[in-house]
Homo-oligomer: A and B are copies of this chain.
Amino acid sequence: MFKNLIANSKNLSYKMSQEATTLLIPGPVRLSPHVQSALSIQSLSHTSPEFVTIYQRVLQNTRRLFKADVKKGLPIVLAGSGTLGFDLVGANLVSPKDEIYVISTGFFSDEFAECLNGYGANITTSRGPVGDIPDLNLIKKTLQENKFKLVVMTQVDTSTGVLNDVESICKLVRDVSPDSLIVVDGVCSIGCETLEFDKWGVDFCLTASQKAIGAPPGLSIAMISERALETALDNKASVKPFFSSLIKWSPILKGFEEGRASYFATPPVQLINSLDVALDEILEQDGGLDKRVQTHEEKSNWFKSKITNELGLELVSQYPQNDVSAHGLTAIYVNNPPQVISSMKSKGFVIAGGLYKGIASKYIRIGHMGYSVCNSDAEDIVKCYAALKSTLQE
C-alpha cells in the first residue's frame, strides 16, 4: 500500500491522503521510493555539468534498455507522452504516399496507424481476431505482395493485453522485405518483455516512462537504428514538424550523450533525474534487465493462472492455449466492470476499465509492472488478487 501525497493547493499545505491506495492500472505505475524522491530535486540549469552528467547517463542507459548498439543509431529521451513517439516516426520516417504496413493487435496499433495516416501514408492493416495476433502466414503473404517503407507493430497492446510475436515478425521482414524499416511500439513492453533491438533488427522502438520502466509520466523514450536515422536526417517531406524533428534533435542528443551541453528545447530536468534512477533500478539492481523480465513473466503467470483456474474467468488475450498474453498487465472479462472497479477501489486498489472498440464495456485491466512486482517485499499483486476474489464473491 502506498499513501498518495496530494497537494492541497488551496492552503499550500500537503497532506498524506488518509486513504491508502495501490495503483495497479497498466500505467502510470506505482513508483519506487527512490524514483519518487528523485523527482523533487530543485531545478537545474539544463546546460550545467550536473545535468549533463545525468542526461548523458540516461541516454547511454536507454541504449542498454533497448539492447541496442552502444555506438550506432540514437537514443531519444524528450518531454512528451508516449503518443509523441508515434509522431517521431511520422515526422521523421514518413512522406505522403509512403506505403506502411500496420500489424494491429488493438487500440494502440490503430492509434499509431491513424497518426501515420495523418502524415499522408497509405496504410495496409492486418489484424487477428480480438485477443489474438495476426497469422504469420498472412503477414508473410502481405509482405511478399507489397513493398512497404515501414512495418509497424505494437509489442504489447495496452488495450487488449496481447503480446505480439515481434521476434518472428522481424525475422519475416528481414527475410522477405529487408529494405522495410521495422517500427515497434514498446510503450507497454520495454522493461517487462524481451526486446532485442539490435539482434532482431528493429529500426525504431518507442516507449514511455510511466509503464514498465517505472518512472513518472511525461517522457517520450525511443531508440532509432543507424539506417533509420539516415532516412530521418535525409527527410524530404515538404511539411516538417519542429519539436519532433530528428534533424533538430540528433546533434543535441549526440552532444549530451557525449557529455556536451547543447540546446534545442529545455529538457524536463526533474523527470529525467527520476528516469535516471528508474533505469539504474532496472539495469543495475536485482540481476538486471533479463531478471526483471523473468520476474514480470513469473508474477504475470501466477496471476493469470489464479484468475483463470481459481476464479474461472476468461482473459481478453488468448490464454493459456496459444498464449499471446502480455506480462505487464492482464485484461479480464467480468460482469459489470464499473462495479468491479468501484469495489476494488473501496478495497484500496485502483484498476482500469476496457479500451478496445466492441468489447470496451466488457472487461477490466490490471497492471502488474515495475515496483509493484519487482520489489521483493511488495505483495501488491497478491493482495490485489485476494481483493478481486472477494469482490467477485460479493
Contact = CB atoms under 8 A, between A and B. Distances in A.
Interface of A: 2-7, 9-10, 12, 14, 17, 23, 25, 27-31, 34, 36-48, 50, 54, 57, 78-84, 86-87, 90-91, 96, 114-115, 118-120, 208, 210, 216-220, 237-245, 263-271, 273-274, 276-277, 279-281, 284-285, 350, 352, 355
A10 B350 CA distance: 32
A43 to B, nearest CB: 4
Contact of A28 (B266, B276, B355): B266
B84 A243 contact: yes
B39 A31 contact: no
17 contacts: A7-B34, A7-B37, A12-B277, A23-B42, A36-B42, A39-B270, A79-B80, A79-B219, A80-B80, A82-B265, A84-B265, A91-B241, A216-B271, A218-B218, A218-B271, A241-B241, A268-B271
Given A14-B37, A208-B266, A270-B39, A241 B90 contact: yes
Contacts of A270: 39, 216-218, 271
Most buried by B among A14, A25, A43: A43
A162 B148 CA distance: 50
Contacts of A217: 43, 46, 79, 266-270
Nearest to A275: B9
Contacts of A50: 4, 6, 17
Given A28-B44, A270-B271, 20 more contacts: A2-B42, A12-B34, A12-B280, A14-B37, A14-B38, A28-B266, A30-B42, A36-B40, A39-B40, A39-B270, A43-B217, A47-B352, A79-B79, A80-B84, A81-B243, A86-B242, A87-B243, A118-B241, A216-B268, A218-B268
Contacts of A42: 2-5, 23, 30-31, 36
Given A5-B42, A48-B350, A264-B83, A269 B28 contact: yes
Given A10-B280, A81-B265, A44 B4 contact: yes
A379 B166 CA distance: 57
Contacts of A277: 7, 9, 12
Nearest to A10: B280
Nearest to A61: B9
A241 B239 CA distance: 10
Nearest to A114: B242
A271 B312 CA distance: 41
A245 B28 contact: no
A273 B42 CA distance: 16
A141 to B, nearest CB: 29
Nearest to A268: B218
Contacts of A118: 239-242, 245
Contacts of A80: 79-80, 84, 243
A188 to B, nearest CB: 11
Nearest to A115: B242
A45 B23 contact: yes
A79 B78 CA distance: 10
A45 B84 contact: no
A283 to B, nearest CB: 10
Contacts of A355: 263
A44 B43 CA distance: 22
Nearest to A247: B118
A209 to B, nearest CB: 9
